[in-house]
Each structure stands twice: as structure tokens, then as C-alpha cells.
């Protein structure tokens, strides 16, 4: 048989990568928890109708569908297909996508938001609102694989639903600030309000311009001001309107200066005033103990998704060449699509794959995260091995990871194993040590070697 491979866009994570990823997940999780967010886990597969139509036409195409299978005795994908194709008519319906449900009824989760909405809609009678949940699970997208884009990747979300209070935005800002400070990643937490963008649309003649303006502004980072202006012109905005937008995009300085400039530009606009009030509220609640995070107003921040209605967030790592490593915002209606209207909320997300890359680039993972086995006991004879097994057990009971070489072998081979696995200490227990109740401990990184009483091994290596 030929050498096996992995499906395109998927990855194996070996020990050191799992450890580093878990360090990120555990840090985020611990912050979610101290802010009172509760964990939720939903299944990998959802019913097709739960997912379809929620992510736009492009999104629908990227959802992984699962072939019907095993529901009935002897059912197979072939039988499901055969059933669907039993007549010319039903086969044509199948080909035209009209009874695709004959062959697929379930699909893999595409994000964590829709499964969360589905969960809230199914359980809203039992939940305590405001409901604060976090969720850390993989999602699957049939995207064309490319550098940094995978078909299976983790999302890491926190949402509060059932509250319009801006305190939630303030707390989510605090979660970002605390988490990145704990991870050692210096960040800018950029905030804006969709209401400011709505105000800009009003200044440009009407809220029907909102989509055109946000879509163009969203590209500012990538294509620059001149091309944004060209795109706005193409989208039918006149010189005067583009002028206003240019003045808006050129707003700069400290948070206070930016607010002043916006006030000058949008004086007397009530929507802008509301947006500024939201932003000021969040700025006033900046956490004090998060020195690595800076909360900055970014009026050019638009966020692609249309469902945002209030404060929007985006996090950028300072000193690393990387897109946003977090984002989110306020929405008006989480569960309306599932028959439960009027449930507003606000949420944020961490981009764990990118955070990982930034931490690698800036060398931010603490050394102990990668720690392998702490000590390897050599295997030097039957009685020696029995004693070493017992001593290893004693270390393990104290939480020290220990291995015993699996067979009697030459010193060389056992040293090589310790070296390859990056084990810091080797414990050598030969016939002499067995007799004396001692053990040689060698520090593999310094080369230092000591003979200690067997009872002192733990203190020697800690």
C-alpha cells in the first residue's frame, strides 16, 4: 500500500505543538472563567437546515456535508444514492439540488455562532439571562487550502446574550486585555461603533450608502486611500461625498483627538453622538492591570459582517506582521432565524492559529510549556529495574513525569533516548546503587552528575 497522506488543509499536531496550543487555550479559558463565562460544547455535526442559508451563498458552498449513512439496516451511501435516483425525475431533482436531502441531512459545523444560536433557541426557557457562554471547538470549511488557512481550525468565542448593556462591551474589552497581557502579546484593541459608520453614511446622503461605504473602507489597509476613493466613485458616490469620507478616514491622533475631529466632522448628527457615547463608555472602563493592551479608537474599522449594530472590535498584535488576531461586536438578534426573536448580544473571538504564529515569531512561549518527561530511569538489570519502577512511581505520585527505559540496554542507547526526547535528567541505578540505597542523577543539560540517597531524588531534580 502506498504511503498514507492527510486530507488537504488538515494537520496533525505533535506533542510540542499540542502543548503550545493548549497553553493558549488554557490561558483564554481561565480568563473567560474569571469573568463568569460558562463553557458550552456542541456536536461537530448539525442538521443541514440549521446551517444552510446562514453564511451567504459562498458560505453554503464551503459547508462540509455528510453522506446519509447507517440510519436504516444495511444503509450505505450507495443505497441512499440509488433511492434518490430511482426514477429519472427524482434523479434530476437530485442533480438540480432539490432533493439533496435524500443523500445528505447533516453537515459539519462552520462556525460556533450558529450552533450557539441553535442551542439558545432550543434551551432559552431554561437559561439564565444574560447568558454568558464561551466555546472552544474546531470548525470545518471547504476553503481552498493556502498558507495559514486550514479546512479544520479552532474557534474560541465568548458571547453575552440577553443584554443591551455596554458593560458587556467593557468586560469583553477587559477579557482581550487580560488575556493578551497574560500571553505576553502586546496588542492594540481597536474599537469603533457601527453607529459612527451609519452616521458617515447619513453625512453622505443616506443610510442606503452604508454597505457601499463599509465595503470600500474595509479595504483601506490593503489597497490604500486613493484606491478606496476610486472604488467609492465607482460605487456612485460624488466628489463631495468622497471628500467627507476622505476627511473621515484621515482622522488621526490620540483617542481624545480622534473624538474631537469626528465631532467637528459630524456635528449635530445624533447617530454619531450615540456612537461616540458607546465608545466613551468602553474607554472609561479600560482595565488597569493589563499593561500590554492598548485600547484605541479606529474609525476606519468596519468589520465585514452585516449583522453588527453597535461596538465592533478588532485586535492587532504589535510588532508582528499579521492580520487581526481577534474580533467581534454587538448584534441585535442572535436567534431570530430559529424562531426566538429579540435576543441581542455581543461577542468576541480569538484567532488561535494566528496567535500561535505571533507567539512563535516573537518567541513568547514560556520554556516550561514544552517540558517533556523530567527524568528517565535507566534499566540496568532485573532487580535494578524493579527498584527503578518503584522510584519512578514515587516521583509520579508527586506530579513529576518519569519514565523507565523499557528494556535492559547499553548505556549509549538509553542516553540517546533521553537526548532525543529532551529529557532533562537521567537516573542511573546499577547494582552498586541498589545495594547502597542511592541513585546517580545526571543533569543532561549541564553534564553535572551526583550520587544521592533514593529518598532525595525528587528534591535533587526540582
Q: Residues marked as binding for L-histidine?
A: 111-113, 141, 155, 159, 303, 307-308
Asked whether position 179 contacts a copy of itself by CB under 8 A, the answer is no
Q: Which residue among 12, 89, 239, 448 contacts a copy of itself (CB under 8 A)? A: 12
Q: Which H or E run contains 311?
A: strand 308-317
Contact set for a copy of itself, span 287-316 (CB under 8 A) = 287-289
Report d(CA 106, CA 256) in Å as an integer: 51
Report d(CA 317, CA 55) in Å as an integer: 28
Taking the complex as a whole, the smallest distance from the CB of residue 16 to a copy of itself amounts, in Å, to 9
Q: Which residue among 27, 113, 155, 168 contacts a copy of itself (CB under 8 A)? A: 168
Question: Residue 302: helix, strand or coil by DSSP?
Answer: coil
Nearer to a copy of itself, 50 or 269 (CB): 50
Scanning 99-107, 199-207, 347-355, 357-365 for contacts with a copy of itself by CB under 8 A, the matching segment is: 99-107
Report d(CA 36, CA 54) in Å as an integer: 29
> Is the alpha carbon torsion for 83, 85, 90, 93 positive or negative?
positive
The torsion angle over the Cα atoms of residues 45, 51, 56 and 61, rounded to 10 degrees, is 40
| Residue 156 contacts residue 139 (beta carbons within 8 Å) | no
Nearer to a copy of itself, 24 or 160 (CB): 160
Taking the complex as a whole, the smallest distance from the CB of residue 59 to a copy of itself amounts, in Å, to 11
Asked whether position 256 contacts a copy of itself by CB under 8 A, the answer is no
Q: Which residue among 157, 171, 212, 433 contacts a copy of itself (CB under 8 A)? A: 171
C-beta neighbour count of 269 within 10 angstroms: 20
Q: Which of the 8 DSSP states describes residue 339?
A: T
Report d(CA 330, CA 333) in Å as an integer: 9
Q: Which residue among 82, 238, 257, 360 contacts a copy of itself (CB under 8 A)? A: 82
Asked whether position 410 contacts a copy of itself by CB under 8 A, the answer is no
Taking the complex as a whole, the smallest distance from the CB of residue 343 to a copy of itself amounts, in Å, to 14
Residues 6+ apart with CB under 8 A from 81: 103
Report d(CA 212, CA 195) in Å as an integer: 15
What Rg, from alpha-carbon coordinates, does the chain have? 29
Contact set for a copy of itself, span 18-47 (CB under 8 A) = 18-19, 22, 30-31, 33-36, 38-47
Q: Which residue among 25, 52, 55, 62 contacts a copy of itself (CB under 8 A)? A: 62
Asked whether position 106 contacts a copy of itself by CB under 8 A, the answer is yes
Nearer to a copy of itself, 200 or 348 (CB): 348
Asked whether position 149 contacts a copy of itself by CB under 8 A, the answer is no
Report d(CA 31, CA 8) in Å as an integer: 34
Q: Which residue among 180, 308, 331, 338 contacts a copy of itself (CB under 8 A)? A: 338
Taking the complex as a whole, the smallest distance from the CB of residue 325 to a copy of itself amounts, in Å, to 21
Taking the complex as a whole, the smallest distance from the CB of residue 264 to a copy of itself amounts, in Å, to 28
Q: Which residue among 55, 101, 111, 121 contacts a copy of itself (CB under 8 A)? A: 121
Nine cell digits for residue 177: 486585555
Cis ω for the linkage preceding 417 (within 30 of 0): no
Asked whether position 403 contacts a copy of itself by CB under 8 A, the answer is yes
Taking the complex as a whole, the smallest distance from the CB of residue 78 to a copy of itself amounts, in Å, to 4
Taking the complex as a whole, the smallest distance from the CB of residue 452 to a copy of itself amounts, in Å, to 20
Scanning 101-109, 223-231, 269-277, 359-367 for contacts with a copy of itself by CB under 8 A, the matching segment is: 101-109
The torsion angle over the Cα atoms of residues 409, 415, 420 and 425, rounded to 10 degrees, is 130
Taking the complex as a whole, the smallest distance from the CB of residue 24 to a copy of itself amounts, in Å, to 14
Q: Which residue among 294, 381, 417, 440 contacts a copy of itself (CB under 8 A)? A: 417
Asked whether position 462 contacts a copy of itself by CB under 8 A, the answer is no
Q: Residue 193 forms beta bridges with which residues?
A: 311
> Is the alpha carbon torsion for 259, 260, 263, 264 positive or negative?
negative
Asked whether position 283 contacts a copy of itself by CB under 8 A, the answer is no
Asked whether position 235 contacts a copy of itself by CB under 8 A, the answer is no
Query: What are the C-alpha distances in Å from 445 to residues 33, 376, 385, 415?
Result: 38, 14, 24, 12
Q: Which residue among 363, 420, 446, 447 contacts a copy of itself (CB under 8 A)? A: 420
Asked whether position 259 contacts a copy of itself by CB under 8 A, the answer is no
Report d(CA 330, CA 162) in Å as an integer: 12
Amino acid at each position: 500500500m502506498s504511503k498514507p497522506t492527510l486530507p488537504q488543509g488538515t494537520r496533525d499536531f505533535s506533542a510540542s505543538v499540542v502543548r503550545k496550543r493548549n497553553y493558549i487555550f488554557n490561558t483564554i479559558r481561565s480568563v473567560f472563567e474569571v469573568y463568569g463565562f460558562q463553557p458550552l460544547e456542541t456536536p461537530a455535526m448539525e442538521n443541514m437546515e440549521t446551517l444552510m442559508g446562514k453564511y451567504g451563498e459562498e458560505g453554503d458552498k464551503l459547508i462540509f456535508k455528510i453522506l446519509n449513512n447507517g440510519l436504516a439496516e444495511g444503509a450505505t451511501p450507495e443505497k441512499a444514492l440509488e433511492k434518490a435516483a430511482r426514477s429519472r425525475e427524482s434523479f434530476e431533482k437530485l442533480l438540480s439540488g432539490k432533493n439533496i436531502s435524500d443523500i445528505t441531512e447533516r453537515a459539519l459545523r462552520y462556525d460556533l455562532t450558529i450552533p450557539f444560536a441553535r442551542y439558545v433557541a432550543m434551551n432559552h426557557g431554561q437559561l439564565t439571562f444574560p447568558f454568558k457562554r464561551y466555546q472552544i471547538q474546531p470548525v470545518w470549511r471547504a476553503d481552498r487550502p493556502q498558507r495559514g488557512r486550514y479546512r479544520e481550525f479552532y474557534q474560541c468565542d465568548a458571547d453575552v446574550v440577553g443584554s443591551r448593556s455596554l458593560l458587556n462591551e467593557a468586560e469583553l474589552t477587559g477579557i482581550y486585555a487580560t488575556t493578551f497581557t497574560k500571553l505576553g502579546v502586546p496588542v492594540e484593541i481597536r474599537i469603533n461603533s457601527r453607529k459612527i459608520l451609519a452616521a458617515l453614511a447619513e453625512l453622505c446622503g443616506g443610510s442606503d450608502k452604508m454597505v457601499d461605504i463599509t465595503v470600500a473602507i474595509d479595504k483601506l489597509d490593503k489597497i490604500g486611500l486613493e484606491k478606496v476613493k476610486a472604488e467609492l466613485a465607482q460605487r456612485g458616490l460624488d466628489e463631495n461625498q468622497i471628500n467627507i469620507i476622505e476627511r473621515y478616514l484621515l482622522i488621526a491622533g490620540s483617542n481624545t483627538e480622534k473624538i474631537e475631529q469626528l465631532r467637528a466632522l459630524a456635528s449635530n448628527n445624533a447617530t454619531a453622538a450615540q456612537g461616540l457615547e458607546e465608545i466613551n463608555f468602553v474607554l472609561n472602563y479600560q482595565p488597569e492591570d493589563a499593561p500590554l493592551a492598548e485600547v484605541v479608537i479606529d474609525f476606519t474599522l468596519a468589520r465585514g459582517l452585516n449583522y453588527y449594530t453597535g461596538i465592533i472590535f478588532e485586535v492587532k498584535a504589535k510588532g508582528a506582521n499579521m492580520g487581526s488576531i481577534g474580533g467581534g461586536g454587538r448584534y441585535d438578534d442572535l436567534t431570530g432565524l430559529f424562531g426566538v426573536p429579540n435576543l441581542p448580544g455581543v461577542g468576541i473571538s480569538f484567532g488561535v492559529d494566528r496567535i500561535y504564529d505571533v507567539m512563535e515569531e516573537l518567541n513568547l512561549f514560556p520554556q516550561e510549556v514544552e517540558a517533556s518527561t523530567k527524568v528517565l530511569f535507566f534499566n540496568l538489570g532485573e532487580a535494578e529495574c524493579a527498584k527503578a519502577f518503584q522510584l519512578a512511581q514515587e516521583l509520579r505520585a508527586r506530579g513529576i513525569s518519569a519514565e523507565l527505559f523499557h528494556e535492559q540496554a547499553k548505556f549509549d542507547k538509553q542516553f540517546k533516548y533521553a537526548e532525543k526526547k529532551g529529557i532533562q535528567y537521567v537516573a542511573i541505578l546499577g547494582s552498586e546503587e541498589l545495594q547502597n540505597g542511592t541513585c546517580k542523577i545526571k543533569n543532561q543539560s549541564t553534564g553535572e552528575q551526583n550520587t544521592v540517597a533514593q529518598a532525595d531524588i525528587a528534591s535533587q531534580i526540582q
